[in-house]
Structure 1
Amino acid sequence: MARVLVAMSGGVDSSVAAALLKERGFEVIGVTMRFWSKEECDYTRFHERSCCSLEGIEFARKAASVLGIPHYVVNASEVFRKFVIQDFVSEYARGRTPNPCVRCNQFVKFRWLLQYALKLGCEYLATGHYARIREGRLLMASDREKDQSYFLWPIRREDLGRILFPIGDYRKSEVRELARRLGLPTAERPESQDICFIPDGDYASYVAKFSPEALKPGPVYHVDGRLLGRHRGIARYTVGQRLEEVGGLGARLYVKEIDAPSATLKVAERYRLFAVGLRGSEANWLVDPPSGWFRAEAAVRHGPERVRSKVRALEGGQIEVLFFEPIWAPAPGQSVVLYDGESVLGGAVIDEILWERD
Structure 2
Amino acid sequence: EESPALASAKEVARALGIPFVIQDLSQAFGKLQASLVSSYLHGRTPNPCVLCNRLVKTGVLLEKALARGARGLATGHYVRVNREEGRLFQAAFLPRDQSYFLSWVPRERLRLLYCPLGERSKEEVRDLARREGWSWLLKRKESRELCFVSGTYRDILVSAGKGMGTPGEVVDLQGRVLGRHEGVGRFTVGQRKGLPPGEKPRYVVSLDPGRARVVVGDKEDLACKEALLAGLNLFREVPEGARLQGRIKVRSTSPGTPATLEILPGGRALARFHEPEWAVAPGQAAVLYQGEEVLASGILRKRLD
Interval of TM-score (by shorter of Structure 1 and Structure 2): over 0.9
Gaps of at least 5 residues in structure 1 are: 1-41, 46-53
Equivalent residue number for residue 38 of structure 1: none
Alignment of 1:56-95 (within 5 A): 56-82=5-31, 84-95=32-43
Aligned to 2:74: 126
- In structure 2, give the amino acid aligned to 1:250: E
User: Which residue in 1 is equivalent to 2:203?
Assistant: 254
CA drift of 1:81 comes to: 1.1
Query: Contact 2:145 / 2:151 at 8 angstroms: preserved in 1?
Result: no
Distance 1:244 1:113, change over 3 A: closer
Q: Deviations over 1:238-286 (max 9, x none)?
A: 1111043402x31110111101111100001112111112101011111
Counterpart residue identity of residue 138, structure 1: L
Q: CA deviation at 1:198?
A: 3.7
Once residues 214 and 193 of structure 2 are traced to their aligned partners in structure 1, the CA distance between those partners, rounded to angstroms, is 10
Q: Which amino acid aligns with 2:205?
A: K
1:89-238 pair list within 5 angstroms: 89-134=37-82, 135-136=84-85, 137-184=87-134, 185-201=136-152, 203-210=153-160, 212=162, 214-238=164-188
Secondary structure at 1:121 match in 2: coil
DSSP-derived class of the 1:322 partner = strand
- Counterparts of 1:213 and 1:60 in 2: how far apart (Å)? 35
Q: Spell out, residue by residue over 1:77-127, the C-alpha distance to the aligned partner (whole angstroms, 9 max, x if none).
A: 111111x11111000010111111111110111121221121111112111
Q: CA RMSD in A?
A: 1.7
Answer yes or no: is the 8 Å Cα contact 2:73–2:114 preserved in 1.
yes
Change (3 A) 1:110 1:217: same
In structure 2, the residue matched to 1:36 is none
Distance in structure 1 (CA, Å) of the matches to 2:193 and 2:127 = 43
Please say if 1:280 is aligned against 2:233.
Answer: no
Contact 2:228 2:300 in 1 (8 A): yes
Question: Alpha carbons of 1:288 and 1:159: their partners in 2 closer, same or farther (altered >3 Å)?
Answer: same
In the alignment, the residues of structure 1 paired with residue 42 and residue 288 of structure 2 have an alpha-carbon distance, to the nearest angstrom, of 25
Q: Is the 8 A contact 2:53 2:105 kept in 1?
A: yes
Instruction: Report if the CA contact (8 A) 2:165-2:182 is conserved.
Output: yes
Match of 1:346 in 2: 296
The Cα shift of 1:217 comes to 1.3
Q: Quick one: percent identity of the two aligned structures?
A: 37
In structure 2, the gaps of 5 or more residues are: none
Please identify, of 157-166 and 98-107, the stretch whose mean Cα deviation from structure 2 is larger. Answer: 157-166
Q: How many residues align?
A: 301
SS of the residue aligned with 1:302?
A: coil
Describe the shift of the 1:205–1:62 C-alpha distance in structure 2 as closer, same or farther (beyond 3 A): closer
CA 230–346 in structure 1, closer or farther in 2 if over 3 Å, else same: same
- Tell me how far apart the structure 2 counterparts of residues 288 and 297 of structure 1 sit (CA, whole Å): 19
Residue aligned with 1:61, SS? helix
Q: Is 1:266 aligned to residue 215 of structure 2?
A: yes
> What TM-score does the superposition give when structure 2 sets the normalisation length?
0.93
CA distance in 1, matches of 2:298, 2:97: 19
Q: CA, structure 1 residues 125+197, in 2 after alignment: closer, same or farther (shift >3 Å)?
A: closer
